[in-house]
Amino acid sequence: MAKKTLQIKGLRQRWMLNTIMPVLVLVILAVCLFSASITSYYYTSMESTLKAQARSDAESFNSYSMDSYGEYYQAANLLVENFADKDVLELQFINTSGRIQLSSYGLTTGNSPGTSDITDAMETGEVQSFRGSDPQTGENILAVSSPLIFNGKVVGVMRYVTSLQAVNRQIWISVLVVCLLAVLCISLVFFANLLFINNVVEPVAEVSQAAKRISAGSYGIQVENKYDDELGELVDNINDMSLKISQSEKMKSEFISSVSHELRTPLTAINGWGETLLEDAGSEDPEQLRRGISIILKESRRLTNMVEELLEFSKMEDGRFTLRMEPAVELQAEFEDAIYTYRELFRQEGIELHYAAPDEDLPSIPGDPERLKQVFCNVLDNAAKHGGSGKRIDTAISREGDFLVLRIRDYGPGIPEAELPFVKQKFYKGSSKARGSGIGLAVCDEIVRLHNGIFQIDNAEGGGTVVTIRLPLAD
């Protein structure tokens, strides 16, 4: 349980880190860009406005007709006393030595501001600005200086000074509002992702636990599916996998049990008759000797067939199951050889084997003759084993379009409908009590598939089972 908790926590942390971090970085960049932009906008707008006012007022002042310094001073003093914006701006007249002669804020008269805008305006004759801390008071200010010209010479500077405290406060308020919006945005993203990951992680943890239980051997367990999205599809796939593994394990167990029984039966017969014949070595009863040897040979063949099936199955499992293709195989001849081989054996068991020859000469096809004959023999043997109670087996071969079609039908009890989809699966024996390993039909299906053909098993009308093999005329 502790490990599960750690896994959930780790997945949640990775998800949150990978989703929140990019958003956080983008939001921080956006806030920084906004702060820089709003600061630049306020300062630039304020500076441009103040420069325009300073330039206009200086030009207006310079246009006065003044013949002496006394008239200049009187005009400047009149302008300071009637200055209408003294609540937000300070108007200063500064002489060429850099001292304040007149000021709308009288306490600064006689001081030397010492800022760069004053000297730059006197030297260049152009409007200059300064933004920073006032050398006298340390206050953050914006100052704009415009040169005053008398008789073609710069005789002083008209200077506007304003505090940036209100502007800075407005900037901080704007930035604070943006920061709050950013925090709100990040919080919404965080909680939305937290809600989403919680809705994903918990079901994934449940599916992970179910998968672990399956891998530990609890085959067949089912996870409750409460979802109708991709997660629900994953749960369905896990449940389907669990069920199929359970079925496969069940069939494997039945296969091992069946093979063990099938191997034990002929071995018991061989051992028993071997000991009997050994004890009766001096007997002159040829009938018993012939019977014993016949049984030993029959059971040896059964063992040989079972071992061959197991070898074929092993080759199918590891990909070594291959064909030795020939360009032209007389399928009819191979099929008839198998029929003639089994006809006498079936007759001894009371089963009539009928063969309906085709009405035309059939073309040859590309294929592996040994493997194809193996299919025919296996199907005929199965027909006698499972449908021999009907005492009759019908076989036929014909051409249907681009296929050669072989049919083998018995008249036994047939196959239960529920078992039909599974009869070609490995190890599957269903409700049949007949001897066998349960892999013969799987081998036949694989051989026909490698020939690009179709191997089909159905219940026949009127009872019994019919096997249909379709093989293409061309590869």
Query: In this structure, what token pair is assigned to residue 229?
Result: 């999205």
**Does residue 101 carry a pLDDT above 60?**
yes
Quickly state the pLDDT bin for 8 (edges 50, 70, 90): very low
In DSSP terms, 156 is beta-bridged to 148
Pairing of strands 392-400, 352-356: parallel
Going along the chain from its start, the domains and CATH numbers come out as: 2-169 (3.30.450.20), 240-318 (1.10.287.130), 326-472 (3.30.565.10)
**Does residue 394 carry a pLDDT above 50?**
yes
pLDDT reported for residue 145: 92
Query: In this structure, what token pair is assigned to residue 136?
Result: 């006298």
pLDDT reported for residue 6: 44
CA distances from 146 to 21, 107, 155, 263 (A): 51, 22, 11, 116
**Does residue 123 carry a pLDDT above 90?**
no
**Does residue 467 carry a pLDDT above 90?**
yes
Query: pLDDT per residue over 9-36, tens digit each?
Result: 566 677 777 778 888 888 899 999 999 9
pLDDT reported for residue 448: 92
CB 350 within 8 A of CB 343: no
**Does residue 248 carry a pLDDT above 50?**
yes
Lowest mean pLDDT among 34-38, 76-80, 361-365: 76-80
Pick 248 or 38 by higher pLDDT.
38
Pick 359 or 232 by higher pLDDT.
359
Residue 88 has φ and ψ, to the nearest 5°, of: -120, -15
Q: Is the pTM of this model over 0.85?
A: no
pLDDT reported for residue 469: 95
